[in-house]
Amino acid sequence: MPELPEVETVVRELRPQLVGRRLRGLRVSRFPLRREWSKAWAKLLHGRKVSAVRRRGKWIILDLHEGAHLVLHLGMTGQLTVKRSGAPLDAHTHLIVDLDRGQKQLRFRDIRRFGSATVFQDANQLEAFLTKTGLGPEPFDVPASYWRERLAGTNRCLKAVLLDQRVVAGIGNIYADEALFQAHLHPTQIARDTGREQAARLQRAVVHVLKRAIDCRGSSIRDYVGGSGRKGEYQNEFLVYGRAGQPCPRCHTAIERIRLAGRSTHFCPHCQKPARANVGISAKRT
């Protein structure tokens, strides 16, 4: 599933291609996405210029003149790109928006159809929607005190806390594993048992990993491509994620994989020793 670095890459690459462009004809496929498309939304979009392209968590937001907003989520396999109108139409393309005089198109392709495209009439509707999703702050803007308080206030393991979008927005499975490794913290460690220095180390690791992944245009494991259609490269720098059985880049101990918080979790049992026995954490080896 595209996470913060992938979504940020799409936003950065779409921004120069969309800002100032006017949305014209719009077509949707007969196969609904996670949220069914409303015919009324086409009227709200038609003829409006794109004033900004931005990200909130894993949501892509196109701000339009006169206040409307087109909000998209890539789900697990979504691809949002700008292409020439004459370019072959890929299978599983579910939304096409003509730009300006129709020479180029914004296309949303989603094989598994877990993504979504929604139109909000004004900023109030948009903010009400984002509030309802319960999104936490962006990881780059989190005060150290907030970070420590959220860790201290839960009996969940660190991996589960990092995946919780209500705590911090945008972190997913890949970057949670990579950040925990860089912070030398075991994924099953109880969050409330995390000391001040460990919490600071984890916060720095999260920011470092996400920024580096953005520099690499995200990670392409299966379907992800950026807004220009190019794949990301951060998968070439994974230290633990997807490397079960391979040697740790630090100590050469075999990387292990367990099932934790409903997700495959990768770690080095030597470099990420738990601070103490983690009673009550259920982790299934895979």
Question: pLDDT tens across 124-168, in order?
Answer: 999 999 999 999 999 998 999 999 999 999 999 999 999 999 999
In the chain the domains, ranked by start, together with CATH numbers, are 4-133 (3.20.190.10), 139-285 (1.10.8.50)
pLDDT band at residue 284 under the 50/70/90 scheme? low
- In this prediction, residue 274 has a pLDDT band, given cuts at 50, 70 and 90, of confident
pLDDT digits (tens, 9 = 90+) for 159-169: 999 999 999 99
pLDDT number for residue 282 = 55
**Please, how many CA atoms are within 13 Å of residue 138, restricted to the half-sphere of its CB?**
13
Backbone angles phi, psi at 260, to 5 degrees: -145, 135
For residue 113, what pLDDT is reported?
Answer: 95
- Cite the active site residues: 2-3, 58, 263
H helices of 19-77, where?
39-45
Tell whether the model's pLDDT for residue 281 goes beyond 80: no
Confidence band, pLDDT 50/70/90 cuts, at residue 279:
very low
Q: How does pLDDT run across 161-193, given as a tens digit for each residue?
A: 999 999 999 999 999 999 999 999 999 999 999
- Euclidean distance between CA atoms 50 and 26, whole angstroms: 15
The phi, psi pair for 40, rounded to 5°, reads -65, -25
pLDDT score, position 267: 98
pLDDT at 74 over 50: yes
What does the mean pLDDT of the chain come to? Answer: 94
Confidence (pTM): 0.93
